[in-house]
Structure 1
């Protein structure tokens, strides 16, 4: 079939991002190498099939070595060289890290940590998002770059800064305090409204005027939790405002689409990407396997599904991943043979239409010198390079998948605000962490072979058979009504503990937990009863659980299981409330993985959800991408043995015809163009 163009229309007056087939790319840092290496680089890029590279990500000190003095010689040469070789450019604005001359002349731009101490240059992102001096200098530099390259034919997309907020999202200096006060005035209007929202009658915190409010630096006790949540909101908005300012400059010189690389991953939480996504022309994400997690491969799938949600179900770009080990985890594990390919195609299965890596050539010096790359320190006579070339060829065979969308009947609700608030200082137990509960719910569905869409709490839920709501601590009235209306209309929901507890001001909803969902679930909870680390309880279903119990009574829900021991024997632990054709499950405890999977299976079956893949321990992934006229089945086998799944059609990677049964070898991926769309 003829390759199709990947297209996503943006919101800033840009032309769409268009690429023929699936893009294969990387970060390229030619400034780290002598110029004679560049010719070799582009020849190797062509050999591997690399057709999209990100450059000038950290270019500021190279292009403006002294204030107001610009040297574009190197970047001009590299841009032209790439263009001559048919390689398109993801052009960075170069503002991620300021040059040393700027921080020396203006140390006031440096970020301040929560303890009131300054963070210094020598790493990256040594700037405060609210610094007017940094903004003026950075935007002036962006203007020079945009003026120089705004009409360059190699530019496929603009790349604002780099991983915004990775290190400097939360700054606590006086420039930030002034910006925070402006944000609060716009949000609340009056100081009285702010006092009400923050509950400042507690601990004699009532403010009389705006200038009394600062950033939530470290205190001798716990901080005001409402202030902390608002500071997270502000900080996300402040960096988003900075992103918009760079876009405004770019738009004066170019109509090419603009993006920035999100960090939808387990260890970054400071930006609310639900608010960011509408501002980019094409959603892009960086993702690295995190071996601090028990199951990094399943987290990869979750992150890819969440990135697709941010893209509104449309195509998105995997801007960075690793070919092997990273350099910033306590234990930086190499990838097994074939793992890079499986990871890459897992992203494609879940909506990515660009597969890019950090970086092209492994650095010889610097903090990331032991970070893997497409061209390793060992060079091209290496197993890694051969797998890179094979991956490029495989992506070419999958070009026809472009333009299709992932098919899912189940939604999982996710909220950055609940993450911020639910993991606050003062909570019933620090053993319960929001993202852990999200991952647990997702893993249960993943192991059942069920494809999941991630959705915000105010999403349209009408197209889903089942909606899963894990530990959604902070809920607005509108969001609560959204889920209630969905179930009343015949939908099925499964809600887990510590959900619906507070409103958007972190104000407890009175009358019994889980306040926002109490009527929907047909229960009332009088008191939380968290468990100690290592403590477990048993249910009369035979299941075990940990972390959490609560003094719950049914007000209309059917009791599915009760505790047989622990602090609350005989108390309901799992309930199900029926609302016409709809139903709402509640899990009042943290079920162990097998028991959670069993309940999820029952809830999904009752909702009419049919699993696409076989049940597994997460080592088998089956995802369907489809459009009105075609359908593709992705089967990714992370296991050490061959598997078989039902499928019929043409397999794109091997070129084989599949008649009713598809065999996928251990560690392999197969993609079937199905005989008929499903």
Structure 2
């Protein structure tokens, strides 16, 4: 069953409202609610004194109404008694308000007190609800993010982590290159973060500290996972990450969980109406790629966010329904809207829900009801079907983090570059998987893009090389192969350990930043490029585009190399999107990937498959009407009618079509 639901906070509302809320939810198509992820102070109002009666009543109420429950472990918000009695719970984050009680996220993952009380509250919840027939699953904590905490527990934990990683100070000094600036350590206790701005600090230390803190999050979460697994039966566990990739190793975070989840808030402002649907598509593909399987959306846009920022514009008619279908089209098996009703108290008063403060159902709830009715009718057909693609992009946590630590040129951002690559595929109607580890590179893919794979070890290089030799096509972009896994530079001409794979050497590079240059392809077409230009020397590759200006005019800018049964393209600049679409379209033709060049701006295609059954989602995620040419008439699963080959879509229009097997 497709999960269709809302996030609900019974502890925020008088009990008189609960019954009517549950009734209206059921009437509106809700079949699941998420609760309790911020309610620690109500479950344990004083140390060792627990009160679950109110939560029992809320769960029982929803069970009577045929609505299932997902419970959140409330460790993102330690109660006041905990931070007062055990101040080591609070992280040491200089200059950051989130290290103070009464906000949220005010906990150090390495605090012994925090881990002890996390185990206690999780154990009590799991023992009570681990076999409750209405509770189908659990959410660990809420929106984990990396804390660069500098408390003594983090410092001691980091030193222990380094001892396990490097064994000796001699090896650590060598791997970090601490001889630079006379920074060699002679005692483990000398290692730590200081008030010095990070841009002046050793980049190897900084990358390792982020790896350590990312592992700390995983270890903190493991406490919750252990207790839930110990006391539950048939219930799943997930976590809700949020927004663009954080400097957090999501592959490791979700390694012990059943599936990944995301909080998805597509921007409703007019100035982002064009770009945001493509950014959202990447986010959803990235979440699906973490586990290589379907996911849930634990918080879907239900109303304009606001509170600690100016309130977003009201959603355009159809916006809520269309973006909910976008989530399902890209692999969501559950979509829960934040939130049922706008809060009347607290810092999120103006982070609006499906119903406003006045508690009168309006346009947003009506739109949710329409989506819920449609999704419920198609639940049996869609649930468990999968998104299967032939193209992939490799996202790399180490490269993303290292490029944040050492920005290479004014205007460059790793994730924004990923967006440009992904958006080019979407505009060609090509579905893309986002991989998180090199071990996910598989022969089923015909095309793999490795955008700015800045940090690369031999294992990753071997996986990419083997993929090409066995018939795959790979595309790389500038700043690939620069660093070793210890964040020191390779003493190799770029692209470093992949130079032979691509058949090129970077003889020199020109960080042009916001300046605009041009490249010219073999047909004489000119395309703009910017940020960075690699000057390439071919060893076995052939040029397919050249720089069209500056002192290196005529130098190869884009090359193609044949290796084994496959080929490797090196794009030695950051070209405009039109060139990327041209390049990927050409490669699609070579590799047999279905592509099209006639999709209107804002129209997205996605497929879900199960066995021989396939469903095509056609979404017009724009404020303008659009038309899409279908290959042939197809049956609409929304209306039961046959959709004409010239499919017309209203603004934020949705069509779901049956594809003949």
State the TM-score bracket (shorter-chain normalisation). Answer: over 0.9
How far apart are the structure 2 equivalents of 1:416 and 1:333?
Answer: 33
1:652 paired residue number: 637
Q: Does 1:207 align with 2:185?
A: yes
Question: 74, 78, 85: which is aligned to 1:94?
Answer: 74
User: Alignment length, in residue pairs?
Assistant: 650
2:451 paired residue number: 470
Question: 501, 504, 508: which is aligned to 1:523?
Answer: 504
Q: Does 1:83 align with 2:63?
A: yes
Are the equivalent residues in 2 in contact too, given 1:535–1:546 (CA < 8 A)? yes
C-alpha root-mean-square deviation of aligned residues, in Å?
2.1
1:40 paired residue number: 20
Provide, for residues 621-675 of structure 1, a one-character-per-residue CA deviation record: whole Å limited to 9, x for no partner.
1112112231111111124224132354431112213466644444211111223
Question: 231, 248, 263: which is aligned to 2:241?
Answer: 263
SS in 2 for 1:248: helix
TM-superposed CA distance for 1:122, in Å, is 2.4
How far apart are the structure 2 equivalents of 1:300 and 1:329?
Answer: 21
How far apart are the structure 2 equivalents of 1:211 and 1:434?
Answer: 34
2:615 paired residue number: 632
Instruction: Sort the Cα spacing of 1:169 and 1:398 in 2 relative to 1 into closer, same or farther, 3 A.
Output: farther
2:470 paired residue number: 489
Tell me which moved more, 581-590 or 189-198.
189-198
Q: Does 1:588 align with 2:567?
A: no
SS in 1 for 2:561: strand
Q: Does 1:419 align with 2:400?
A: yes
Are the equivalent residues in 1 in contact too, given 2:519–2:545 (CA < 8 A)? no
Are the equivalent residues in 1 in contact too, given 2:428–2:599 (CA < 8 A)? yes
1:3 paired residue number: none
Provide, for residues 360-405 of structure 1, a one-character-per-residue CA deviation record: whole Å limited to 9, x for no partner.
1110122211112122235444111111111110111221111211
Provide, for residues 21-56 of structure 1, a one-character-per-residue CA deviation record: whole Å limited to 9, x for no partner.
211012110111111000111011101111111111
Provide, for residues 538-571 of structure 1, a one-character-per-residue CA deviation record: whole Å limited to 9, x for no partner.
5463111111112321122111122222353222
Instruction: Sort the Cα spacing of 1:476 and 1:340 in 2 relative to 1 into closer, same or farther, 3 A.
Output: same
Counterparts of 1:159-198 in structure 2, within 5 Å, are: 159-165=139-145, 169-198=147-176
How far apart are the structure 2 equivalents of 1:555 and 1:329?
Answer: 53
Counterparts of 1:328-347 in structure 2, within 5 Å, are: 332-347=312-327
Tell me which moved more, 217-226 or 403-412.
217-226
Instruction: Sort the Cα spacing of 1:221 and 1:246 in 2 relative to 1 into closer, same or farther, 3 A.
Output: closer
Are the equivalent residues in 2 in contact too, given 1:257–1:281 (CA < 8 A)? no
How far apart are the structure 2 equivalents of 1:136 and 1:256?
Answer: 26
SS in 2 for 1:157: strand
Are the equivalent residues in 2 in contact too, given 1:361–1:374 (CA < 8 A)? yes
Are the equivalent residues in 1 in contact too, given 2:178–2:184 (CA < 8 A)? yes
TM-superposed CA distance for 1:334, in Å, is 2.5
How far apart are the structure 2 equivalents of 1:51 and 1:61?
Answer: 27
Tell me which moved more, 144-153 or 554-563.
144-153
Tell me which moved more, 345-354 or 649-658.
649-658
How far apart are the structure 2 equivalents of 1:568 and 1:550?
Answer: 10
SS in 1 for 2:161: helix
Unaligned runs of 5+ in 2: none
TM-superposed CA distance for 1:580, in Å, is 4.5
SS in 2 for 1:263: strand
Tell me which moved more, 457-466 or 348-357.
457-466
How far apart are the structure 2 equivalents of 1:47 and 1:367?
Answer: 30
SS in 1 for 2:583: helix
TM-superposed CA distance for 1:230, in Å, is 0.9
SS in 2 for 1:398: helix
SS in 1 for 2:438: coil
Tell me which moved more, 146-155 or 350-359.
146-155
Instruction: Sort the Cα spacing of 1:329 and 1:439 in 2 relative to 1 into closer, same or farther, 3 A.
Output: farther
Instruction: Sort the Cα spacing of 1:280 and 1:389 in 2 relative to 1 into closer, same or farther, 3 A.
Output: same
2:99 paired residue number: 119
SS in 2 for 1:458: helix
How far apart are the structure 2 equivalents of 1:350 and 1:420?
Answer: 26
SS in 1 for 2:301: coil
Q: Does 1:324 align with 2:303?
A: yes
How far apart are the structure 2 equivalents of 1:466 and 1:251?
Answer: 39
Q: Does 1:604 align with 2:597?
A: no
Tell me which moved more, 359-368 or 285-294.
285-294
Q: Does 1:240 align with 2:218?
A: yes
How far apart are the structure 2 equivalents of 1:298 and 1:331?
Answer: 22
1:275 paired residue number: 252
SS in 1 for 2:266: coil
SS in 2 for 1:653: coil
TM-superposed CA distance for 1:351, in Å, is 0.8
1:576 paired residue number: 560
TM-superposed CA distance for 1:614, in Å, is 5.3
Instruction: Sort the Cα spacing of 1:114 and 1:594 in 2 relative to 1 into closer, same or farther, 3 A.
Output: farther
Instruction: Sort the Cα spacing of 1:648 and 1:627 in 2 relative to 1 into closer, same or farther, 3 A.
Output: farther
TM-score relative to the length of structure 1: 0.91
1:8 paired residue number: none
2:49 paired residue number: 69
Provide, for residues 414-469 of structure 1, a one-character-per-residue CA deviation record: whole Å limited to 9, x for no partner.
111110012223x4314211111111110111111100011133323311111111
TM-superposed CA distance for 1:146, in Å, is 2.0
SS in 2 for 1:532: strand
Provide, for residues 101-156 of structure 1, a one-character-per-residue CA deviation record: whole Å limited to 9, x for no partner.
11122223211125699821121011111111111122212222222222222110
Counterparts of 1:268-667 in structure 2, within 5 Å, are: 268-290=245-267, 295-312=275-292, 314-327=293-306, 332-399=312-379, 400-425=381-406, 427-455=407-435, 456-539=437-520, 541-611=525-595, 615-616=598-599, 618-639=601-622, 640-644=624-628, 645-658=630-643, 662-667=647-652
Provide, for residues 246-290 of structure 1, a one-character-per-residue CA deviation record: whole Å limited to 9, x for no partner.
111223321243434332522x51221112222102222212225
Tell me which moved more, 294-303 or 222-231.
294-303
How far apart are the structure 2 equivalents of 1:214 and 1:582?
Answer: 46
Q: Does 1:675 align with 2:634?
A: no
Are the equivalent residues in 2 in contact too, given 1:114–1:216 (CA < 8 A)? no
How far apart are the structure 1 equivalents of 2:196 and 2:31?
Answer: 48
How far apart are the structure 2 equivalents of 1:108 and 1:580?
Answer: 57
Are the equivalent residues in 2 in contact too, given 1:537–1:566 (CA < 8 A)? no
SS in 2 for 1:547: strand
